[in-house]
Amino acid sequence: MHAVSGPVTPPTAPRRAPRIGIFDSGVGGLTVQRALLAALPHADTLYLGDTARVPYGTKSAETVTQYSLRTARFLLGEGIDLLVVACNTASAVALPALRQALPVPVFGVVEPGARAAAAATRGGRVGVIGTPGTVASGAYQAALQAARPGLEVVARACPLFVPLAEEGWTDPADEVVRGVVRRYLAPLAAAAVDTLVLGCTHYPLLEEAIAAALPGVVLVDSARTVAAEVAALLGEPPGPAWPAGVHRFFVTDAPARFLAVAGRFLGRPVEAAEHVDV
Ligand code: DGL
């Protein structure tokens, strides 16, 4: 064993809570914020939903990257310590550009989700569902192979899941919900996947309906995994008396529609959102 020599930095109490930027194409990223708030109740958060440009899932990688850079720069200007790209589509196509452009740590949701799925699968057959952009990018497929080479991956775009979740049509007993879910997931059932990555911000709201269509399949929601990774980076709050975080919400379109559905995605009321141009 070597003794470690050199200057020792005394631990200093941070002067303020960590400030986390969270960005999504719209309201869906609030499912990721929900997991972050559970893991880091003392952190301040700034959430930006690019509601003027949603959806990202049907747009080209170039366009999503341009939008992502603009929204990320806005959050950087608000003094964030790190950025969580909650949007799966932006994580799939824009992460390298964001990491290059920003001087703060940037977390995406694709790699944590892929790592969790690779660890969960028993038979080595993993399904991925997401927007058309996410599936076409091949990002989950590549991250799964990197996490565990030789995995068999079946990916399927489920574009109608996004409007269903926003409409609140998520009841597994509802015949429309059941029909849409069954139809999209039929190839995954046929391929006998044992693990499924919910590769889109909105899909956790449909978790029950998805579970009913794929009994026995392990559902992986990357929000919890990314929250654990951010918590590991930021560490414990300095003391038990540290106050709860302060949360601000920004949107690029008029806030009314965002506010109408935000509470359902976040699991707690969202009182106000500020309109910004980015
Ligand atoms: N937030 C997007 C995602 O997770 C879904 C909504 C959209 O297409 O913009 O991929």
Q: How far is the CA of 255 from the centre of ligand 1 (A)?
A: 18
Q: Is 56 in the pocket of ligand 1 (CB under 6 A)?
A: yes
- Which residue in the block uniquely carries the two structure tokens 């269509």? 213
Residue nearest to atom 8 of ligand 1 (CA): 57
pLDDT at res. 244: 86
Domain positions in the chain are 19-108+225-275, 110-222
3-class SS letters over the chain: CCCCCCCCCCCCCCCCCCEEEEEECCCCCHHHHHHHHHHCCCCEEEEEECCCCCCCCCCCHHHHHHHHHHHHHHHHHCCCCEEEECCHHHHHHHHHHHHHHCCCCEECCHHHHHHHHHHHCCCCEEEEEECHHHHHHCHHHHHHHHHCCCCEEEEEECCCHHHHHHHCCCCCCCHHHHHHHHHHHHHHHHCCCCEEEEECCCHHHHHHHHHHHCCCCEEECHHHHHHHHHHHHHCCCCCCCCCCCCEEEEECCCHHHHHHHHHHHHCCCCCCCEECCC
Q: What pLDDT was estimated at residue 236?
A: 73
pTM greater than the 0.85 cutoff = yes
Q: Which two tokens stand for residue 269?
A: 């009321």
Evaluate whether 19-108+225-275 and 110-222 have a shared fold: yes
Measured from the CB, is residue 162 less than 6 Å from ligand 1?
yes
Q: What is the pLDDT of residue 179?
A: 97
Say what the pLDDT of residue 51 is: 97
Query: What pLDDT score does 147 carry?
Result: 96
Q: What is the pLDDT of residue 79?
A: 95
**Would the CB of 24 count as within 6 Å of ligand 1?**
yes
Mean pLDDT, consecutive 10-residue stretches, the chain (278 aa), reads: 43 72 97 94 96 97 98 96 98 98 97 96 97 97 97 97 95 97 97 97 96 97 92 80 89 96 95 96
Per-residue confidence (pLDDT) for residue 17, from 0 to 100 = 85
Measured from the Cα of 90, ligand 1's closest atom is 10
Tell the residue nearest (CA) to atom 2 of ligand 1: 87
User: What pLDDT sits at residue 106?
Assistant: 97
Å from CA of 3 to ligand 1 middle: 50
Pick the CATH number of 19-108+225-275 from 3.90.550.10, 3.60.10.10, 3.40.50.1860, 1.10.3720.10: 3.40.50.1860
For ligand 1, whether the C-beta of 134 sits within 6 Å is yes
The finding on whether 200 has its CB within 6 A of some atom of ligand 1 is yes
Q: Fold for 110-222, please state it.
A: Rossmann fold (3.40.50)
Which active-site residues does the annotation give?
87, 200
* pLDDT value, residue 13: 52
Cα-to-centroid distance, 212 and ligand 1 (Å): 23
What integer pLDDT is reported at residue 4 of this predicted model? 41
Backbone angles phi, psi at 113, to 5 degrees: -65, -40
pLDDT score for 1:
38
Which atom belonging to ligand 1 lies closest to the Cα atom of 130? 10
